[in-house]
Structure 1
Amino acid sequence: MTTTVLIKNGVVIDTEPEPVVLGHADVRIEGGAIAEVGLGLPDVPGAEVIDATGRIVLPGFVDTHRHTWQAAIRAAAPDVDFPGYLRRVVGELAPRHRAEDVYAGNLGGALECLDAGITTLLDWSHIQLTPGHTDAAIQALRESGIRAVFGYCHGGEPGGLESETRRVRGLLPDGLVTMALAALGPEIAGEERALAEWRLARELDLPVTCHLGHNPESAGLAFLEANGLLDTPTTFVHALHYTDGEFKRIAGSGGSVSLAPVDEMNLGIGYPAAGRARAAGVPTGLGADTVVCSPGDMFSLMRTIHLLERGRPDGAGLGFTTRDALRMATIEGAQVLGMDEVIGSLRPGKQADLVLLRTDRLGMAAAHDPIGAVVLNADTSCVDTVLVAGRVVKRDGQLLHHDLSAVLASLQESADAVVRP
């Protein structure tokens, strides 16, 4: 098997410490990791060569919060508010899911990510109706070929939280699919459940991802501080209603923030606080959250956060740039997931999770600033080639390694079974 890959003649964008256009350059990959980036790298006998002429080469996108299982109920609730989402999706549609529906949704959703250049995904999975549902979700992530953090949210009997979380921890020791504890937390499930979640995460050495700060009365941060739980790495999802001082406390604890700007505005949750969180020093990433009422691609998310920040009253967000948006979608998203030493930039030694974007499109042609073009002009049709750990999973605009007609048929079967009983 070829272990050396040479990507030649692309316009290369790196993202660490800040996004920068390196210009025309080559990328050499050895054993799944980035070995060298430079102009005119020498040929390597037996290497796989990818001609990136007319392509932009950059790190793969990182989605820090997505309910991947919902791929088969896309656009099922496009115009509801948050209470309507809870009634329709969580109350009605989720309980109808069989294990095979979870598998279909997770596989289709993960492949959707790869197709759009998202190479790493935090799958916030709250569809654990039985252990079979959990196993189906994990199997689909593994088979997809994506790099994923499986955010396990126990949804069965309360007494099974510890035993099932331990079981899942044993299934995911390392590899492309790893684990986080997706906590319901004090704002959804109450303090007793939250204490058990954080203490279990600490014991099992798992990071926590939790919906915290998504309403003005949120007291989750104070609860975590009062109980000495902030030493466990925690991602605050939808952290919209914190003060600047509270964001500084989150930063001081080593915490991070995940924002889903389309979903947060569409559901009426609140105005994304990307600028304030980042100004306080909090690593802040982007997530699609749910395709029942939001798009599933990173281009839409980058454009939305760029627009919302720059559109703040009195010009307060005009310092936010396309480079900030790209950073949130790559290296900063990796930092949110605790993976910034592994992915998110082109630093030699990191895993070769890369995306090649076509520029021979009318909407991308003659772009003077490649970073601006990626954020403001590109879309999923530009995603030509995608690599995860040096393995090509999409080439010439086509996903590899899967029978897409079968994947689509499974999604439709699940949609018919779940949405139209």
Structure 2
Amino acid sequence: MASILLKGGVVIDTDPSPTVLGVSDVLVQDGLIAAVGPDLPGGPGTEVIDASGTFVLPGFVDTHRHTWQAGLRAILPDSTLPVYLEQILYGIAPRFDPRDVHAGVLSGALECLDTGITTLLDWSHIQLTPAHTDANVEALKASGIRSVFGYAYGGRDSLDAMAAEARRVHREHFADDPRSMAIAAFGPEISAERGTAEWRLARELDLPVTAHMGGHGSESAEQGLAILEREGLLSHPATYVHANFYTDDAFKRIAANGGSVSVTPTSETMLNIGYPPTGRARAAGIPTSLSVDTVTTGPGDMFSVMRAAYMFERVRPDEAGMGFTTRDVLRMATIEGAETLGLADITGSLRPGKQADLIMLRADTLGMASAHDPIAAVVLSADTSSVDTVLVGGRIVKRAGRLLHHDLPAVLAAIAESAARVAQ
């Protein structure tokens, strides 16, 4: 892989906390970050990209998105979680065939790249048949995004059938890349029997768990956590999505067992799931990340999510969130997201040796010009139009505002055709 030198941008690193390094260069060799600093030499054959007039930083990490729903954008505004479950999961989802899954996942993953998200946990609960699953995985890999496939079994057969199919998916698609798969668990709040089976399966396959837990009310949140504790499963690596109703004590128990949290501030408020637990989770020492969740109800970009997280935390009662800063929210969108997914040694910051997952945001536009604090400008002023260039593993996937490597008219035609069919 050719060397690339991003030259002369204002560089922002994120680990251990977001810091503006000033005008610097980023050297990429063999897909990895080789060096960060001023006036770096490129060497023979190095491609030099002029980064002047941009902010250069790690790509965003989305730790929970139902990517297959890309063709259902804005279908359910002004709604609630019960309506979402009834109309999307129980109504429209059964109409999806593998072609629809492929179209939605490919379009959704490319949307991520287009908006600066370079790492994605695809929380996929559209696995109605093995063909659905294979189409989903194929689309993720074809997109070029760094992904973790959150496998949620969709069949209605026995728990033994669930385990057998998960083993097949792991064996056929992820045996050589185990950190690219997780078990997306429905239980134990929804079903204690299935939930504990999912956790044990994850332990067997040495995969992390990502689960919607803590968002169904205080009593349900405590009961689900108690089940995991009773069964000796709480110590298994897990991300708790929509952890809105956990008490501070519950967060301490999650932290003590190495858990993480994914906050979806747009859907959690728009679907009336609950108030985002951002500050409370982080106060317990839990890696706390950001995610889009679904475009059926809200926006699909990290800029919108960062702003929502920042604003909801800052207006907590009794000024409890006033210590939350733009640096905190950028950390959540980058290295803390990587920590949540167990990928902090791979991505999320500019440490030499990590994968070169990088974005360049235009800072020379009317909406970004003369920014006194680049980090605040990224969080509060930038938007999807700011994303100029995107690299994943040192591969340029977007340049000068245009996605590369895909026939976008064909992608858009496929998602439009699918959307018209499944939502009729």
Query: What TM-score range do you get, normalising by the shorter chain?
Result: over 0.9
Shift of 1:177: 7.8
Q: Does the CA contact (< 8 Å) of 2:389 and 2:400 recur in 1?
A: yes
Say whether residues 1:355 and 2:359 are aligned partners: yes
Amino acid at match of 1:173: A
RMSD of Structure 2 on Structure 1 (CA): 1.0
2:249 and 2:179 mapped to 1: Cα distance? 35
Moved over 3 A (4+): 174-177
TM-score normalised to the size of structure 2? 0.97
Gap runs ≥5 in structure 1: none
Say whether residues 1:66 and 2:68 are aligned partners: no
Say whether residues 1:173 and 2:172 are aligned partners: no
Say whether residues 1:184 and 2:186 are aligned partners: yes
Aligned to 1:252: 256
1:17-416 alignment, distance < 5 Å: 17-159=16-158, 160-170=161-171, 171-175=173-177, 178-188=180-190, 190-214=191-215, 215-217=217-219, 218=221, 219-416=223-420
Amino acid at match of 1:12: V
Amino acid at match of 1:157: R
Shift of 1:192: 1.1
Shift of 1:221: 1.1
1:322 and 1:243 mapped to 2: Cα distance? 25
Amino acid at match of 2:406: H
SS of equivalent residue, structure 2 residue 78: coil
Residues 46-80 of structure 1, C-alpha deviations (whole Å, 9 max, x = no match):
01111101010000000000000000111111111
1:300 and 1:309 mapped to 2: Cα distance? 14
2:177 and 2:370 mapped to 1: Cα distance? 40
1:379 and 1:202 mapped to 2: Cα distance? 40
SS of equivalent residue, structure 1 residue 187: coil
1:48 and 1:414 mapped to 2: Cα distance? 39
2:23 and 2:224 mapped to 1: Cα distance? 47
Q: Does the CA contact (< 8 Å) of 1:8 and 1:51 recur in 2?
A: yes
2:179 and 2:188 mapped to 1: Cα distance? 27
Amino acid at match of 1:165: A
1:27 and 1:175 mapped to 2: Cα distance? 27
Shift of 1:384: 0.1
Amino acid at match of 2:141: R
Amino acid at match of 1:153: A
Amino acid at match of 1:216: S
1:137 and 1:175 mapped to 2: Cα distance? 16
The 1:176–1:182 alpha-carbon spacing in structure 2 relative to 1, beyond 3 Å, is closer
The 1:358–1:174 alpha-carbon spacing in structure 2 relative to 1, beyond 3 Å, is farther
1:175 and 1:198 mapped to 2: Cα distance? 20
SS of equivalent residue, structure 1 residue 158: coil
1:280 and 1:174 mapped to 2: Cα distance? 35
SS of equivalent residue, structure 1 residue 139: helix
Q: Does the CA contact (< 8 Å) of 1:148 and 1:176 recur in 2?
A: no
1:148 and 1:120 mapped to 2: Cα distance? 6
Amino acid at match of 1:345: S
TM-score normalised to the size of structure 1? 0.98
Amino acid at match of 1:336: T
SS of equivalent residue, structure 2 residue 155: coil
1:269 and 1:394 mapped to 2: Cα distance? 35
Q: Does the CA contact (< 8 Å) of 1:148 and 1:177 recur in 2?
A: no
Shift of 1:194: 1.2
1:292 and 1:35 mapped to 2: Cα distance? 40
SS of equivalent residue, structure 1 residue 102: helix
The 1:174–1:363 alpha-carbon spacing in structure 2 relative to 1, beyond 3 Å, is farther
- My pick for the range that moved more, 262-271 or 72-81, is 72-81
Aligned to 2:7: 8
Gap runs ≥5 in structure 2: none
Q: Does the CA contact (< 8 Å) of 1:146 and 1:176 recur in 2?
A: no
The 1:252–1:176 alpha-carbon spacing in structure 2 relative to 1, beyond 3 Å, is closer
The alignment-based identity, stated in percent, is 63
Q: Does the CA contact (< 8 Å) of 2:4 and 2:42 recur in 1?
A: no
1:202 and 1:363 mapped to 2: Cα distance? 48
Shift of 1:310: 0.5
Shift of 1:176: 10
Q: Does the CA contact (< 8 Å) of 2:289 and 2:332 recur in 1?
A: yes
Instruction: State the number of aligned residues.
Output: 418
Shift of 1:175: 4.8
Shift of 1:246: 1.0
1:177 and 1:386 mapped to 2: Cα distance? 22
SS of equivalent residue, structure 1 residue 12: strand
Shift of 1:174: 3.9
